[in-house]
Each structure stands twice: as C-alpha cells, then as structure tokens.
Amino acid sequence: MTSYDVVVLAGDGIGPEVTNEAFKVVDAAASAFGFSIKKSVLDLGTERWLKTGDIFPDADFNAVKDHQAIFLGAIGDPRAPVGLIEYGIIAKLRFDLDLYINLRPIKLYDERLCPLKGKGPKDIDMLIIRENTEDAYAGMHGFVHKGQPLEVATQTMVYTREGVERAIRYAFEACRARNGKKNVTLIDKANAVRAQDIWTRVFAEVATEYPDITTDHAYIDAACMWMVKNPEWFDVAVTPNLFGDIITDLGAMLQGGMGIAASGNLHPGQVSLFEPIHGSAPKHAGKNVASPVAAIMAGAMMLDFLGEKKASVAIEGAISDLLCSGKIKGVGTGVHPCNEVGDMVVEEVRAAVAKA
Ligand code: IPM
Ligand code: MG
C-alpha cells in the first residue's frame, strides 16, 4: 500500500483543533482509497517558544526535508512579539524550502456563503497564484537611528527574473490544466512600483508560448474593485507576494470567509506545505467553535499534490454536498462544533465511496 510521509505542525490557537478534524477526513479518505499517511508531529509554535525559547531548531527543520508534505494548522499568538513566530516558522518554511508558489483557489460552493448580491457558484471560481518567496517578504529591511526623531525605516521589494518567471509560467500551466475560461490576469502596480516592470515584461514574453490562453492585466487597486464587482471575469490570476497576500483575503470572503479558504505553498516535485489561510484566532482557541472546513480543504489540496486526485476530489465533493444540502449551515465561528464537522465530512466521504 502506498504510504506518504507528512509532517503535522498544528501550531497555535485553533491550529490543533482544526488540524485534528483535517486528519480525521484525510485518514478516512486514505483508507477508502487504499493508501496511508504516516504522520510526524512537529511541536512548534508559541507554546514551545515560551517554554524553551526555540522557534525552529535546525534538527527539526532538517527532519522536515525528508517528508513529502507538511500540514500546518495556524501560527501566531499575542504573547509573542509581532511576526517573530510567523517569520520564524511560516516564512522560514517558504523561503528555505523554496516554496515559490502560493496556490489559493477561490471557489464558491453555495450562493448562501457569498456576501455579494446576485453572485453564485458560476461567477466565483478562480485560482490566484501568489509568488511566495520575493517582493517585500524577501526580508531586506532595516532601520537607521532607530527610536530617534530622525529614524529611517526601509524594506526592499525584490524581484528576480527566475522568481517572476517561474510564478508566471506556473500560472499559465495551471490555466491550461484547468477547465476554466483559459485566461490569465496579471495583477501588479507597475504604474507606481516601477520595479514591477519586470512582471509586465516577463508576463508578455511567457504569454507568447501559450497562444491558447488569453491574457488580461489589472492594477492591484482596480483588481480589488473588479473582484467584488465582476468576480466572474477572473479565471487564473498571478501576482507578486504582498498583493497576493491581500487579495486572497478578499477572495476568501467571496467564497465564504476564512472558515473555508485553503492554500498550498508549493515547490512542484519537492516537499510542499498546505495550510488554511486563516490565522490562529487565539480568542476562539480550545472552545470547539472554529470552522475546520478550511483545514479540511487544505488536506484535500495536500492529497491532490501527493497524487491522490480521487481522494482529494471526494473530500471537496463531500464538503460541497454538505454545504449545498445545508447540513453544514455555514463556515463561520460557532455555527457547528468543530469536532462535529470533521465527523460529518468523514461520513459523507464514506457514503459517496460506498455508492460509487
Ligand atoms: C498568509 C499570512 C502570512 C503572510 C503571515 C502570517 C506572515 O497572512 O499566509 O497569508 O503574510 O504571508
Ligand atoms: Mg495573509
């Protein structure tokens, strides 16, 4: 039987409870489709930092590399300084494993989840490709005269030819592979952030290799407007890291909010990381009120990446059916006890497999 080695990093806040539900479902799908998941638990996050001062020791990091995927619940806690744990864990994984694509599907399963008037599932089905290792996130920042009246703070937006090209190329390939409108939109702010001219040029160049795919362009400010006004215009969009961070939160709201949006941090062919887009929501932690649907969807994305497409499709289908039938009444906080949602999805997956 095929077995996959997965690192489970449940993390802070609601991370452990949603991770638990995600693996209930992933394990049930694995046994239904005849494979297994071997989990290595990685105890990292704010609790460990508070106890030991460790953020991400080398021994833990090196162990991660021997696996095929990493599942991350959530990271962040107000007891730690802003960004310390996020940068030490998520950013370290993204940069040091060179997870250069942040794949964020935005798909509406049921009209009731969408805050936009008159928009339904046929209007909201897009894939945002967020470049994941460069831009303002590259870490080139500094302060002069810190704390003084003349303090200067800088952070450099970094774009390499290779980084830009591989993100754009991934977007065109993903567009070709998916059953969409065969359109890729470049989202940038090249009119103000002049360095993003490299995105304009590389996009035009790569596009010539994909004559079957049409292209569009939107500045990030306008793209925010179009996403709300005419989300049906988007099929695949590719964008630098920081804009991708922002616009995918907006996108998450179109599909029902942080309780459903999932993402993959990918380096195709190498160990990659899957996580719900939401944060650790410390105020809801341990109360069994968080929606685990986003984490379960991240689990489905992980299975797809591992090559278990049928299992992934079965999980997505189960969630879609539960949402459309109203058995899952919503993906907000407190709508259902967290642990019951995982059970419902497991049951639905099993029933669908038995029927097939
Ligand atoms: C995300 C998050 C992270 C980011 C934070 C936690 C550093 O918002 O994955 O979207 O900005 O990339
Ligand atoms: Mg974000």
- Per DSSP, helices labelled H in 136-272 are 161-177, 197-207, 220-229, 241-254
Q: What is the pLDDT of residue 267?
A: 98
- Residue pLDDT, tens place only, 75-122: 999 999 999 999 999 999 999 999 999 999 999 999 999 999 999 999
Residue nearest to atom 12 of ligand 1 (CA): 245
From 232, 246, 220, select the one nearest 108 (Cα to Cα): 232
Integer Cα distance of 29 and 7 in angstroms: 18
Integer Cα distance of 275 and 266 in angstroms: 11
Q: Which residues contact 149 (CB under 8 A, 6 or more apart)?
A: none
Q: What is the pLDDT of residue 103?
A: 98
What phi and psi values does residue 17 have, to the nearest 5 degrees? -70, -40
Centre of ligand 1 to C-alpha 244, Å, is 10
Residue carrying the six token digits 């969807």: 297
- Residue pLDDT, tens place only, 154-168: 999 999 999 999 999
Q: Name the packing angle between helices 338-355 and 309-324 (round to 10°).
A: 110
Q: Which residues line ligand 1 (CB under 6 A)?
A: 86, 90, 245, 277
Q: Cβ atoms within 10 A of the Cβ of 32, count?
A: 18
Atom nearest to 241 CA in ligand 1: 12
Integer Cα distance of 4 and 319 in angstroms: 23
Nearest ligand to the C-alpha atom of residue 276? 1
Q: How is residue 231 annotated by DSSP?
A: G
Ramachandran area for residue 135 (φ above 0: left; ψ -120 to 50: alpha; else beta):
left
Centre of ligand 2 to C-alpha 247, Å, is 9
Centre of ligand 1 to C-alpha 340, Å, is 28
Q: What is the pLDDT confidence band of residue 135, given thresholds at 50, 70 and 90?
A: very high
What phi and psi values does residue 154 have, to the nearest 5 degrees? -130, 155
Residue nearest to atom 7 of ligand 1 (CA): 86
**Which of 245, 246, 301 gets mutated to test ligand 1 (max ligand atoms within 8 A of its CB)?**
245
Q: Which residues contact 77 (CB under 8 A, 6 or more apart)?
A: 12, 13, 45, 46, 85, 280, 282
Residue 212 contacts residue 176 (beta carbons within 8 Å)? yes
Here the tokens at position 251 are: 């996108």
Centre of ligand 1 to C-alpha 1, Å, is 36
Atom nearest to 83 CA in ligand 1: 7
Q: What is the pLDDT of residue 356?
A: 86
Strand-pair partners of 129: 103, 238
From 314, 310, 306, 300, select the one nearest 69 (Cα to Cα): 306
- Residue pLDDT, tens place only, 261-289: 999 999 999 999 999 999 999 999 999 99
- Residue pLDDT, tens place only, 181-226: 999 999 999 999 999 999 999 999 999 999 999 999 999 999 999 9
What phi and psi values does residue 155 have, to the nearest 5 degrees? -145, 130
Integer Cα distance of 347 and 37 in angstroms: 19
Q: Does 133 have pLDDT greater than 90?
A: yes
Find the mean pLDDT for residues 320-348.
97
Residues 275, 266, 208, 163, CA torsion sign: positive
Residue 30 contacts residue 299 (beta carbons within 8 Å)? no
From 246, 253, 328, 269, select the one nearest 293 (Cα to Cα): 328
Q: Does 7 have pLDDT greater than 90?
A: yes
Centre of ligand 1 to C-alpha 162, Å, is 22
From 324, 249, 332, 250, select the one nearest 293 (Cα to Cα): 332
Residue nearest to atom 5 of ligand 1 (CA): 86
Q: Which residues contact 53 (CB under 8 A, 6 or more apart)?
A: none
Nearest ligand to the C-alpha atom of residue 275? 1
Find the mean pLDDT for residues 25-39.
98
With 0-12 / 13-18 / 19 or more C-beta atoms within 10 angstroms meaning exposed / middle / buried, residue 81 is exposed
**Which of 12, 55, 86, 130 gets mutated to test ligand 1 (max ligand atoms within 8 A of its CB)?**
86
- Residue pLDDT, tens place only, 227-250: 999 999 999 999 999 999 999 999
3-state DSSP call for residue 284? helix
pTM across the whole model: 0.96
